[in-house]
Structure 1
Amino acid sequence: MEYLQSYHCLLCYLLLALRDPALCAKEITVSPANPVVKVGDAVTLICETTCTQGKPHWMILDESDVTQNTTKNRSYLHIAAVHPNHEGKYTCTAEKCRKQKKETIQLRVYSFPVPVLSTVPENPVSGQPFKVKCTLTNVYHGDYDTVEMLLSHLERLETEHSKNCNDDRFCDHTWSSKDQMGTSKTDYQCETNLTIGPNSFTEKARLAIYFQGDAGDDYNDPRSTAMSPEQMETQTSEPVSTEGKGQAVEASSSTTTAMVALGSTVGFLSILCFLVRLIKRSKRKSPSSGPENHPDGC
């Protein structure tokens, strides 16, 4: 088709040189020239003719979900929600044109969602290996189109690719990294690219990973609160300052000893006084040659 257009332009220049520009104009034109439409989106194909009596018309096989509106020199073909069955060639005709009778375009359909990043295991643990996966689901494109992916963390990572397609040619793609390792918050990015002829589509995703066991995360990691044997040994073997406490203990012991001694002395004196009283009472009852009133020594 590109070669034919080149030859057509060359012929036009030659005809213009012969001062006959009317023969150079295309009698039927369609737009867009190379429609590439995403699944689910709407598209309108326009056919226009310069033929005075040639009314344009789109040739379609199934008109169940396609609407066509035609004016004097234009025809609009509208598809509200494109799906893979709409992919193919569409031809517009204008039978009463002198030279050009039809114009054909190729409608391309694709599905290219945003990638999803995930980790295995789902919650990586600080200092333990994990893998990062980039997944594309329900991808649809032609046989000669290409899908590429770039998984990066500071630099490009090596990945393994797996692909699974159903009968409708919708495919799931998964790229998985080799074992990774981390101890603090880190970011991974997945960039996917779909190339359809001269068209290129890019989708990106980013994933921030927080590790269990990281001092700055929100996980309740028992290792952050438990004591290691070294910590326990350090705490039990750490010398404790006793300055001032020994003096207090010594003073307390002296006071206690003095109180015990005082109590013993008082008790001894009380017993001695009681014995003296008994002896004196017994003397009063016995005959005495001296005076009866003697002072009590106690």
Structure 2
Amino acid sequence: MEYLQSYHCLLCYLLLALRDPALCAKEITVSPANPVVKVGDAVTLICETTCTQGKPHWMILDESDVTQNTTKNRSYLHIAAVHPNHEGKYTCTAEKCRKQKKETIQLRVYSFPVPVLSTVPENPVSGQPFKVKCTLTNVYHGDYDTVEMLLSHLERLETEHSKNCNDDRFCDHTWSSKDQMGTSKTDYQCETNLTIGPNSFTEKARLAIYFQGDAGDDYNDPRSTAMSPEQMETQTSAPVSTEGKGQVEASSSTTTAMVALGSTVGFLSILCFLVRLIKRSKRKSPSSGPENHPDGC
């Protein structure tokens, strides 16, 4: 093939030397050469030629959701949201050249989501067997494409694979490990790979597993919205202490008693003071009676 291209180029140079460049018009070129597009993404196919006698044009069967813009020597075919119905061959032509030129490309469509890791049972118990599952949903690819999966925990695990497809060729894949065992927090990883011709796509997921322990062990599963007994105890309001309250009540009683005693002492002091005044006033006044006795206060 390379020898034929070399001879073709040599012939073109010879014809150009003979001043007949029209016979050496370049073939139509399209890009990208091997388009592989994910479902829902946009793509633009470009067709270009150096033929000066005609414009390039994309040949499509259904133009309802496809737009085409053409300039003097270039044509753009745009698909805003690719779906499986867009998969197939697309041909670009330049019809008004001396010799009709055309170029065809194959558009490939795929769907390859991020895998989801889970366990059976959902909340593994320390020291009891459980299984790990890696799931891919709504996967779309060609018949000759391959999907592979690697489930690992320290090393690669043996798995069983199940596949379920609908009428639109969208498939669900599930890989399940053999029985596992654990007693403390541990990690599992799932790596999936889709190969479409020379193209390869990889998606990964990781799962941290927390085990329910025996009675008395702390446990908090981040995948569960239920609160553990420890969390509930933490969120319960603390009881109000009565020790301080008793001290306050005792202090209040003592203060009341002291106030009452102070009032009594004050009243007696005033009464005694009045008695002294009365007796002093009697001493100053003349009296024929016996001498005054000491007061009794």
- Shorter-normalised TM range: 0.5 to 0.7
Residue 26 of structure 2 corresponds to 26
Structure 2 CA distance for partners of 1:239 and 1:28, relative to 1, 3 Å:
closer
**For the Cα contact (< 8 Å) 2:114–2:204, is it kept in 1?**
yes
Moved more, 173-182 or 52-61: 52-61
* TM superposition outliers: structure 1 runs of 4+ over 2 Å: 1-27, 97-100, 214-247, 249-298
By how many angstroms is 1:201 displaced? 0.3
By how many angstroms is 1:53 displaced? 1.3
Output one character per residue of 1:76-134: Cα deviation in whole Å (capped at 9) or x when no partner.
00000000000000000101223452100000000000000000000000000000000
Output one character per residue of 1:35-84: Cα deviation in whole Å (capped at 9) or x when no partner.
00000000000001100012011000000000000111111000000000
By how many angstroms is 1:18 displaced? 12
**CA–CA separation in structure 2 for the residues paired with 1:76 and 1:285:** 136
Q: Which runs of 5+ in 2 are unaligned?
A: none
Structure 2 CA distance for partners of 1:18 and 1:263, relative to 1, 3 Å:
closer
Structure 2 CA distance for partners of 1:173 and 1:17, relative to 1, 3 Å:
farther
**CA–CA separation in structure 1 for the residues paired with 2:96 and 2:244:** 119
**For the Cα contact (< 8 Å) 1:210–1:217, is it kept in 2?**
no
DSSP-derived class of the 1:207 partner:
strand
Give me the TM-score of the superposition, normalised by structure 1. Answer: 0.67
Moved more, 269-278 or 147-156: 269-278
Higher alpha-carbon Rg? 1
**For the Cα contact (< 8 Å) 1:125–1:212, is it kept in 2?**
yes
Instruction: Give the CA RMSD over aligned residues.
Output: 11.3
Structure 2 CA distance for partners of 1:214 and 1:149, relative to 1, 3 Å:
farther
**CA–CA separation in structure 2 for the residues paired with 1:154 and 1:165:** 32
Corresponding residue pairs, total = 297
**CA–CA separation in structure 2 for the residues paired with 1:265 and 1:72:** 119
By how many angstroms is 1:219 displaced? 2.4
Structure 2 CA distance for partners of 1:289 and 1:260, relative to 1, 3 Å:
same
**For the Cα contact (< 8 Å) 1:213–1:224, is it kept in 2?**
no
DSSP-derived class of the 2:54 partner:
coil
By how many angstroms is 1:286 displaced? 66
Identity of aligned residues (%): 100
Output one character per residue of 1:189-224: Cα deviation in whole Å (capped at 9) or x when no partner.
000000000000000000000111179985279999
The question of 1:176 aligning with 2:176 is answered yes
DSSP-derived class of the 1:222 partner:
coil
**For the Cα contact (< 8 Å) 2:68–2:78, is it kept in 1?**
yes
Once the two structures are superposed, the pairs formed by residues 1-298 of structure 1 within 5 Å of their partners are: 26-99=26-99, 101-213=101-213, 219=219
DSSP-derived class of the 2:163 partner:
strand
By how many angstroms is 1:34 displaced? 0.2
Structure 2 CA distance for partners of 1:148 and 1:275, relative to 1, 3 Å:
closer
DSSP-derived class of the 1:237 partner:
coil
**CA–CA separation in structure 2 for the residues paired with 1:226 and 1:148:** 36
**For the Cα contact (< 8 Å) 1:36–1:110, is it kept in 2?**
yes
**CA–CA separation in structure 2 for the residues paired with 1:273 and 1:218:** 77
Give me the TM-score of the superposition, normalised by structure 2. Answer: 0.67
By how many angstroms is 1:155 displaced? 0.3
Structure 2 CA distance for partners of 1:115 and 1:272, relative to 1, 3 Å:
closer
Structure 2 CA distance for partners of 1:89 and 1:5, relative to 1, 3 Å:
farther
By how many angstroms is 1:27 displaced? 2.6
**For the Cα contact (< 8 Å) 2:192–2:203, is it kept in 1?**
yes
**CA–CA separation in structure 2 for the residues paired with 1:72 and 1:234:** 75
Output one character per residue of 1:263-283: Cα deviation in whole Å (capped at 9) or x when no partner.
999999999999999999999
